[in-house]
Structure 1
Amino acid sequence: MNHTTEAEQLSLEGTAAAEPESKEPPHMIARVNAMAIKIAFPFIARQDIRYYLNGVNIRPLDDDTAMIVATDGHRYVVVHDQHGYAEREIIVSVSKDGLKSANAKSTFDVMSNGAACINDEHGMPQFLQPGNSLVEGEFPRIENVASAIGYVEGISGAINPAYLKDALAIGQQFGSIRFFTKDQDSALVFVVGGLGDLEVFGGIMKVRDTFEQLPTWFPKPVPFELAETHSAPRATKRKTRSSKQ
């Protein structure tokens, strides 16, 4: 069985940061393309003791756009929504049931009281998440564990096939995907073609495996002349059998 070493896993730490309850009427604190949430969902941690990884991180950028990040410590995905809005950085849990209503024209809206919903292009609610969707904590800085320095296009190293499948599924949504690699230990990075106002890249940590080269037991190629020699008797035999008839 393949095991990911500690050095190959992302270094992710967070701390709880409770905020006092506000008596002000709830207002929208984030609105992003619902497709960005759908893309990020497979990369969310499941029942991880690092509770802040069990949701997506929605973060405002300096150019008034938004970035959506999800990671389970073994891989990550980052979605840049050029028309996304975030009043402040938040972590939001996501219901799988709501993904059925998510598409490139719908939005994922989060309110200050923790209410979250998916609205269609006309602003009509398509799915209302139950309960408070906000997760307290500090999400790890993805820029501290993800890098593009020293990478060249291509794939190398051992990769978890299930993680690769999820990356390819994103590429299928967008129509194209490209992979970049650095060495046997660094994450395999992928970038997908643009889908409207969304830009996506991610990374998959490598795993240790018992094989590092092509199999040595596989037969070596046979020279053409020897192959001809082996096939000649068979041809003669068939010819003799035919002449007897």
Structure 2
Amino acid sequence: MYAELHMLSPLVPTREACFLRYCQQQNVEDETYWAIVDFPLDGFHNSLQTSFPLYKRRPSGCLILDMPNGYSRVKWVEHAEIEEKPIHQIFSHFVHSGMAFGANRWLAVLERQCERVASLMATNIPDIGVIPSPEARKNLMRLSQRMIRTFCVNISSCSGQVWTAVPDSSDDTVRITTRKVSEAGQPNGLILCAVSTTWLPYPHHHVFDLLRDERRRAQLEVLSNGNALHEVAHIANGSHPGNCISLLRIN
């Protein structure tokens, strides 16, 4: 298998890995486990090119225990060898603490994915507002997921995507790039993408609440042209109230 591990910023280099994945179910003392283990391929193929900075994924994986209450208990181990390279000061602590590429992140990703799948498969939906049917609800959720994926790809340092630093930017945090659109369902052409990173003197939940507040969205959304926005449909997409999909109408 081949994987690219991304941070949502071009200031953090992408990590690439080639590995073999082994999956097995085991029953130990009346408990059912699933083991998923990744083995690096560089020990078998010396000709494999490594990413820059040097990243070697060592045996890693997770154990999934089936719990009697219908839940799962997951233990994750992430083992890698990294060549020390300077990381931009804005993200250095985030990367070195393991939150960017460590086991904590993959557990959080797994939890969010499980919540999204549960919401997608839910059938006991009392009111779907202007959405005409449960199937339309699923289509809207799939559309939102494609939008998120496109956004993440556009602002990360994908393999082969070259970002150029803007020389006059403060703290060297602005990057620009162009990308040719080839995905199905999108118009052909070039996308010019500019990404800037900064610190804000506010707690993260305050910033999040500001961005998702429909009453103040007109202050941030250029397409609204100053007009108020109204939420006409709301789909819960996780256990946290902020994990949701909103369909907004410009009044």
TM over 0.5: no
Question: Higher strand fraction: Structure 1 or Structure 2?
Answer: 2
Which has the higher relative contact order, 1 or 2, with Cα contacts under 8 A spaced 6 or more apart?
A: 1
Q: Which has the larger radius of gyration?
A: 1
TM-score by length of 1: 0.23
